């Protein structure tokens, strides 16, 4: 119980230094579905429940708890900043929000890439048109 008191602020302050605590050793990459059913994940899940406290971060419910991945960047090697505790009712909307955020990020990244490509293309055209105009002016001066 003494150790749990040390991590009391994890739920309130996920950006604290303590939020980088690993949930366990690196697991073998075996695919998401197998991993979630594995004993490795069960141990990490239990550790997360102990560290964060056994209640939903969104609604405070203490039943039907699940460990939700905020991202999959460190799948198989999760730390406390990669997961949060949610009840089954709050977990599904959180999964939807993560997917929506990821698709928005992808859309935004694609838009920025397209704009940068367009700007680069326009700059190149202006440079070519400008250099052609300069060359024509020099040629006229020579004549």
- Cβ atoms of 66 and 91 closer than 8 Å: yes
Burial 123-135 (b: 16+ CB within 10 A, else e): eeeeeeeeeeeee
What pLDDT does 3 receive? 45
pLDDT digits (tens, 9 = 90+) for 56-112: 999 999 999 999 999 889 999 999 999 999 999 999 999 898 888 888 888 888 888
C-alpha count within 13 angstroms, C-beta hemisphere, residue 21: 21
Domain assignments of the chain as residue spans, ordered by start: 2-142
Per-residue HEC secondary structure of the chain comes to: CHHHHHCHHHCCCCCCHHHHCECCCCCCCCCHHHHHHCHHHHHHHHHHHHHHCCCCCCCCCCCCEEEEECCCCCCCCCECCCEEEEEHHHHHHHHHHHHHHHHHHHHHHHHHHHHHHHHHHHHHHHHHHHHHHHHHHHHHHHC
Query: From CA 92, how far away is CA 94, in angstroms rounded?
Result: 5
Tens of pLDDT, residues 109-139: 888 888 888 888 777 766 555 555 555 555 5
Give the predicted TM-score (pTM) of the model.
0.61
Q: How far is CA 54 from the centre of its chain?
A: 24
């Amino acid at each position: 119980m003494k150790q749990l008191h040390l991590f009391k602020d994890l739920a309130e302050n996920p950006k604290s230094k303590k939020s980088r605590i690993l949930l366990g050793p690196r697991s073998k990459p075996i695919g998401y579905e197998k991993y979630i059913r594995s004993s490795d994940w069960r141990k990490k899940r239990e550790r997360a429940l102990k560290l964060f406290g056994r209640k939903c971060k969104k609604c405070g419910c203490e039943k039907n708890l699940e460990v939700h991945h905020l991202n999959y960047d460190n799948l198989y090697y999760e730390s406390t900043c990669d997961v949060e505790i949610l009840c089954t009712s709050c977990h599904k909307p959180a999964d939807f929000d993560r997917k929506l955020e990821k698709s928005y990020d992808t859309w935004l990244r694609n838009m920025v890439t397209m704009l940068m490509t367009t700007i680069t293309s326009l700059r190149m055209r202006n440079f070519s048109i400008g250099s052609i105009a300069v060359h024509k002016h020099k040629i006229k001066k020579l004549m």
